[in-house]
């Protein structure tokens, strides 16, 4: 099975620096390295990194360094492929407006891997920590997926918010273990009393249940998803205004559309691990603290970075 890791987003709320390559582990490990370590332990053997061009040198160093020592359960070197998410991968009918720098979202990022992924695959963000159990859970389900099926690992909303600013989340509804709806919800943030509000910075915020199931972009698919994904993305591009500088085609709304049109069924998987990630630079110390706790507890060795 393959793990697709999306690392080409701009991370505009993070501020200066490149969020996916920000060292947070005790030996300077980045969150991407934890994902690979946990995925290899679960059984994944192929890794596709979706990156932007200015990450080329860093990824070459990482792939020739610690990742080159990673071995599959059978003792073989893992397979690594780097794919670039750039405007040159957009369909020929679409013209990017002058001055736009923002990528076209996680659906486009995943589509960039379609020529190198021919097996069941999971897709994640590079700047999130998902936990080892999450990879084991999804690994067991991936080979059972038909072309019209997918899966996701869900997390509780209360564990995915930041006290340093608002976040956007796909609020999920399920029926009998199957995803029925994904509501892309913006501006989520706890107030001074700890109540989690949507549109928190607007004039009409509304409360959300802290145990709501949310998507953190941990999806699993059969490679048969790519034609549906490409169709959805092309329709998205055709619907954009000629001067649109910010809109992105995201996986949660895409999955919601495919579910409601009856073209895909998505199983909801649960993990006992706690998600954490870095939306804002101020989140970094907390992430480093949580990772240190996991090392101290023996979940990880002293360092997962092999030189």
pLDDT digit string (tens) for the chain, length 307 residues: 999 999 886 444 434 444 556 788 998 888 989 999 999 999 999 999 999 887 888 888 887 777 877 888 888 989 999 999 999 999 999 999 999 989 999 999 999 999 999 999 999 998 899 999 999 999 999 999 999 999 999 999 998 888 888 888 989 999 999 999 999 898 999 998 999 999 988 889 999 999 999 989 999 999 999 999 999 999 999 999 999 999 999 999 999 999 999 999 999 998 878 888 887 888 889 899 999 999 999 999 988 876 5
What DSSP state is assigned to residue 302? S
Domain ranges of the chain: 2-296
Q: Kindly list the distances between the CA atom of residue 165 and the CA atoms of 2, 161, 162, 232, in Å, as whole numbers in the listed order.
A: 33, 8, 6, 31
Please report the pLDDT score of residue 15 as a whole number.
42
Predicted confidence at residue 188, as pLDDT, reads 93
In 194-303 the beta strands, taken as DSSP E runs, fall at 196-198, 206-207, 213-221, 265-270, 276-277
Residues 6+ apart with CB under 8 A from 87: 96
Q: 139 with 2: CB under 8 angstroms?
A: no
Residue 13 main-chain phi, psi, to 5 deg: -80, -15
Asked whether the beta carbons of 267 and 148 are under 8 A apart, the reply is no
C-beta atoms surrounding 252 within 10 Å = 25
What pLDDT shows up at residue 264?
Answer: 96
- The secondary structure of residue 96, as a DSSP letter, is P
Strands 167-175 and 206-207: unpaired
Q: How many CB atoms lie within 10 A of CB 143?
A: 10
The whole-number pLDDT of residue 306 equals 65
What is the dotted CATH code of the domain comprising 2-296?
3.90.550.10
Number of other residues whose CB lies within 10 A of the CB of residue 46? 18
Q: Are residues 275 and 8 in contact, defined by beta-carbon separation less than 8 angstroms?
A: no
């Amino acid at each position: 099975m393959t793990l697709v890791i999306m690392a080409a987003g701009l991370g505009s709320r993070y501020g200066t620096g490149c969020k996916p390559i920000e060292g947070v582990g005790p030996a300077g490990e980045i969150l991407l390295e934890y994902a690979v370590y946990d995925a290899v332990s679960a059984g994944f053997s192929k890794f596709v990194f979706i990156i932007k061009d200015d990450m080329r040198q860093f990824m070459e160093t990482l792939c020739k360094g610690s990742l080159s020592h990673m071995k599959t359960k059978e003792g073989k070197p893992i397979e690594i492929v780097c794919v670039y998410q750039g405007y040159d991968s957009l369909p020929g009918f679409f013209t990017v407006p002058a001055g736009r720098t923002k990528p076209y979202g996680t659906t486009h990022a995943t589509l960039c891997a379609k020529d190198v992924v021919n097996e069941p695959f999971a897709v994640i963000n590079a700047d999130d920590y998902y936990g080892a159990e999450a990879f084991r859970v999804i690994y067991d389900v991936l080979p059972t997926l038909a072309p019209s099926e997918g899966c996701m690992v869900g997390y509780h909303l209360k564990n995915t918010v930041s006290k340093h600013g608002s976040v956007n989340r796909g609020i999920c509804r399920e029926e009998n273990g199957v995803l029925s709806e994904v509501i892309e919800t913006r501006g989520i943030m706890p107030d001074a009393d700890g109540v989690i509000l949507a549109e928190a910075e607007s004039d009409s915020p509304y409360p959300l249940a802290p145990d709501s199931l949310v998507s953190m972009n941990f999806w699993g698919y059969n490679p048969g998803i790519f034609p549906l994904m490409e169709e959805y993305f092309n329709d998205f591009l055709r619907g954009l205004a000629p001067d649109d500088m910010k809109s992105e085609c995201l996986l949660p709304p895409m999955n919601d559309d495919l579910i409601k049109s009856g073209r895909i069924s998505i199983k909801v998987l649960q993990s006992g691990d706690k998600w954490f990630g870095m939306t804002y630079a101020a989140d970094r110390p907390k992430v480093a603290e949580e990772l240190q706790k996991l090392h101290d507890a023996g979940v990880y060795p002293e360092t997962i970075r092999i030189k």
